[in-house]
Amino acid sequence: MMWRTALVAAIFGFLAGLAGVWCGLALFGNAGPDERSIHDIVHDEITLTEAQDARIHALEEAFAAERADVEARMAQSRRQIGEALLDDHALSPDVIEAADRFHDAMGELQIRSLTHVLAMRAELDPQQQAYFDARLAQSFDVAD
């Protein structure tokens, strides 16, 4: 019976990890040789003025702190899922509540990430925005 509970906990942990990795790669990671992160696009493909670079750097620092806070809550919720599974040996209200907290934090991270992307875009001039939008469309597989 214990091995079953451990297996369920491992599966939840694995799925949670995949969700976090997907979110990171979709918005900021390097998913493949032909795909670049949003960060890379802004800093390596768009020529920023000194003022733009400073404002975007400040946005990135603020987002890094927000992201760390939400990721810490995700990790705590993931641990709580495992603890509840091991204590209850069932899909109990405690397990469901912990899973809901995890999913709420994951959703919050996604919204904060998208808000950050839009904040960076707002610092670009119209020509830079057009390029950024085209590259963003490619990142989200909506390019023609």
Q: What is the pLDDT, as a whole number, of residue 32? A: 45
- Maximum Cα interatomic distance, the chain, rounded to a whole number of Å: 61
- Taking the C-alpha atoms of residue 99 and residue 82, their distance in angstroms, rounded to an integer, is 10
Q: What is the mean pLDDT of the chain?
A: 83
For Cα atoms 113, 29, 134, give the angle at the middle one, nearest 5 degrees.
Answer: 75
Classify residue 72 as exposed, middle or buried by CB count within 10 Å of its CB (0-12, 13-18, 19+). exposed
Residue 107 pLDDT grade (very low, low, confident, very high; cuts 50, 70, 90): very high
% of the chain exceeding 70 in pLDDT = 74
The H helix count followed by the E strand count for the chain is: 5, 0
Give the amino acid at 2: M
| pLDDT at position 105 over 80 | yes
- Taking the C-alpha atoms of residue 74 and residue 68, their distance in angstroms, rounded to an integer, is 10
Average pLDDT over residues 49-74: 96
Q: What is the pLDDT, as a whole number, of residue 40? A: 86
Is-contact 120 38, C-beta < 8 A?
yes
| pLDDT at position 116 over 60 | yes
Is-contact 74 13, C-beta < 8 A?
no
| pLDDT at position 98 over 50 | yes
Q: What is the pLDDT, as a whole number, of residue 36? A: 67
Average pLDDT over residues 48-72: 96
| pLDDT at position 89 over 60 | yes
Is-contact 46 124, C-beta < 8 A?
yes
Backbone angles phi, psi at 85, to 5 degrees: -60, -45
pLDDT tens-place string over residues 4-58:
655 555 555 555 555 554 455 445 454 444 456 888 889 899 999 999 999 999 9
Using a cut of 0.75, tell me whether the model's pTM lies above it: no
